[in-house]
Amino acid sequence: MMKVTNNIISPAGHISDLLPDQNKPRVYIETYGCQMNVADSEIVLSILVENGYSVSHDPKQADIILINTCSIRQKAEQKVFKRLDVFSRIRKNNPGILVGVIGCMAERHKEQLVNNFQVVDLVIGPDAYRKLPDLIKEAGTGQKAVNVLLSHEETYADISPVRMDKNRVSAFISIMRGCNNMCTYCVVPYTRGRERSLDPKIILREVDNLTRLGYKEVTLIGQNVDSYRWKPKEKDIEISFSGLLEKVAEAVPEMRIRFSTSHPKDLPDKVLSVMSRYNNICKHIHLPLQSGSSRILGLMYRGYTREWYIERIKAIKKTLPGCSISTDIITGFCSETEEEHKETLSLMEWAGFDFAYMFKYSERPGTKAAKKLNDDVPEEVKSRRLTEIIELQNKLSQRAKTKDINRVYEVLVEGISKKSENDLFGRTSQNKVVVFPGKNYKPGDIVKVRINDCTSATLLGEPV
């Protein structure tokens, strides 16, 4: 099922190719959190398949259950704890099942998971996935198997992931791991370690694999893609993210290229210039704001000011007219005043974000904010401010999509609409969801669609 070519592990390309096998131990993976976790689950599956495991799509039919976890907010962690209760009930009917917690929560909550959750047999951090086969054997003897050591070198560069997406249209490629930004509210540097970039040859090889598998779109992902740096030991030339982006765009001119996430302090004009020169690089940038107040940004240790962020937005709009911009916003951060909340609202209004991910501040134990700042904004104030931010963003999203009415966009079809089996949905280059009558189109097709209506979340149209 798998082969090694030029030291690159090449499994069957897609999870649907891997049928459950009664003669092999079956593994079920459940993933929470960001795109990085999705990519990590695909790496984990590749490692296990290489080592003789089969795939289960039902936890009740599995021999091993793995839950890949996120620690970015308390709500995400609570979801995982609830799922462990579910898996505990499943194991009552099948005592032989092993249950493992992998990913960021394994790194952060090792002792709690080992000591307080009897159902948990394995606790594996993001840099220890190569050890999974041995750790599973260890857990099979009745011992708790734990490895949460961070690595300064691990990138899983030699592992070609088993793709777990549903439609074989869009896929992720991790171009780097870890993060060097020490934002005071964030756990990522503590759970994923320092930044390490992958050799561009490895990235281009995986892009080529996706092309041969029929994929139409790839998203290059990292905690901060603008920090991508690759310098071969034998050469003085360093490849930055703009250089990598250009190499990928040239290598697969018929494939759509996306990337996420950019950091406002690091997004260079060179990246915008490359985006402007290649039609297959999608015209969408996710640029987290977090706060519209320079003082709060300073407390967050974001490395930029309100004014710097505004200049980056201006540069995007000048170089890439029609480029959509999305963002992240945290409200109710330590000591945030009402006036500073209004600064966030005013910057949102000025920027006109197409969409946003919006959250109340959730203190994360072990972060600099938890150690040095007081989480002193009352919960009811956080909730009210979040409501105001969401209401404003809904208006901005509606306004942006209303401007798209009567325009024609190329839409990459992803699947059948949730509301009607007669309709399909897909995305524009600007990452806007479009729903339209299916006719004879199928996932992977690119269809020109005229927009004739919209909601705040979706464009509605007809093929032309």
Per-residue pLDDT band for 5 (boundaries 50, 70, 90) equals very low
Radius of gyration of the chain (CA): 23
Contact partners, residue 149, CB within 8 Å, separation at least 6: 125, 127, 128
CB 426 within 8 A of CB 451: no
261-276 mean pLDDT: 97
Structure tokens at 441: 């189109």
Q: What is the pLDDT of residues 361-381, one digit of tens each?
A: 999 988 999 999 999 999 999
Kind of pairing, strands 54-55 and 8-10?
Answer: unpaired
| pLDDT at residue 10, as a whole number | 44
Structure tokens at 334: 């330590």
| pLDDT at residue 9, as a whole number | 42
| pLDDT at residue 7, as a whole number | 42
186-211 mean pLDDT: 93
409-415 mean pLDDT: 97
Percent of the chain whose pLDDT exceeds 70: 97
11-35 mean pLDDT: 81
412-433 mean pLDDT: 95
Per-residue pLDDT band for 19 (boundaries 50, 70, 90) equals low
Which segment of 147-161, 375-389, 429-443 scores lowest on mean pLDDT?
147-161
Max distance between CA atoms of the chain, in angstroms, equals 64
| pLDDT at residue 236, as a whole number | 72
| pLDDT at residue 49, as a whole number | 93
456-463 mean pLDDT: 95
| pLDDT at residue 1, as a whole number | 37
State pTM to two decimals.
Answer: 0.91
What is the Cα–Cα distance from 344 to 353, expressed in whole angstroms?
12
**Is residue 12 predicted with pLDDT exceeding 70?**
no
388-411 mean pLDDT: 97
**Structural domains present in the chain:** 3-147 (3.40.50.12160), 165-282 (3.30.750.210), 284-403 (3.30.750.200), 408-463 (2.40.50.140)
Average pLDDT, the chain: 93
6-14 mean pLDDT: 51
Which residue type occupies 364? Answer: R
Which segment of 70-74, 109-113, 206-210, 317-321 scores lowest on mean pLDDT?
70-74
**Is residue 3 predicted with pLDDT exceeding 60?**
no
| pLDDT at residue 97, as a whole number | 95
Instruction: Return the sign of the alpha-carbon dihedral for residues 396, 392, 460, 409.
Output: positive
| pLDDT at residue 182, as a whole number | 92
What is the Cα–Cα distance from 281 to 273, expressed in whole angstroms?
11
**Is residue 99 predicted with pLDDT exceeding 90?**
yes
CB 157 within 8 A of CB 175: no
CA angle 47, 52, 58 (to 5 degrees): 85
432-448 mean pLDDT: 95
Per-residue pLDDT band for 463 (boundaries 50, 70, 90) equals very high
| pLDDT at residue 23, as a whole number | 84
**Is residue 153 predicted with pLDDT exceeding 80?**
yes
CB 50 within 8 A of CB 43: no
What is the Cα–Cα distance from 441 to 336, expressed in whole angstroms?
50
**Is residue 171 predicted with pLDDT exceeding 50?**
yes
Per-residue pLDDT band for 34 (boundaries 50, 70, 90) equals confident
